[in-house]
Structure 1
Amino acid sequence: MSQEFKFTVSDPEGMHARPAGLLVAKAQQYDSTIIVDYEGKAVDAKRIFGVMGLGVKQGDEVTVKVEGSDEDKAAAEFERFLKGNL
């Protein structure tokens, strides 16, 4: 069973290089697959070019899907990370 949550980006710069890099580094800490979906385009959160390629701006809502052996921990910590950094 996978975990899913929605997140609205509050960073004035959106999901630009620095926070995207932090997001990828955080996602790589987990065994689970973490997918970021924006306007029907889903990318692996562990891939910097995919994340930056979404073009997410301030006020945009993304859906995050987490599935794998540590999904409960990964989803909770990843959501907390997003709220604190984006």
Structure 2
Amino acid sequence: MIEKEITVTIKEGLHAKPAGVLVQNLSRYTSDVEFRFKNRSYNAKSILGLMGAGIREGQVMTVRVDGPDEEEAFAWLKTFI
């Protein structure tokens, strides 16, 4: 399991378009991916959950990736965010 804090650098934050790209790409991985933000957990493979989180540029969230391809999934996620 990988669990690290990441600062969001996507200019628009994680709303509609970036969240869609994120979910589409994370669906290639079998690992579970979770974001923790403001004392709540969000499934990073759920577009509705991500959009509802209201995560904006410059905010810090905890990313947790657990599964057989966790290193690859985390590496992609870190590059994207």
Q: Normalising by the residue count of structure 1, what TM-score does the alignment of the two structures yield? A: 0.85
Q: Which runs of 5+ in 2 are unaligned?
A: none
Q: Aligned runs of 1:32-43 on 2, under 5 Å?
A: 32-43=31-42
**Cα deviation 1:34-82 (Å, max 9, x = unaligned):** 0011111111111000011101122111111000111122111221122
Cα distance in structure 2, aligned partners of 1:72 and 1:34 = 11
Partner amino acid for 1:70?
A: D
Gaps of 5+ in 1: none
CA contact (8 A) 1:4 1:75 kept: no
Give secondary structure in 2 for the equivalent of 1:10.
coil
State the alpha-carbon separation in 2 of the partners of residues 11 and 78 from structure 1.
12
| Aligned partners of 1:66 and 1:74 also within 8 Å | yes
Following superposition, which runs of at least 4 residues in structure 1 exceed 3 angstroms of deviation? none
Query: Share of identical aligned residues, percent?
Result: 38
Give the aligned length. Answer: 81
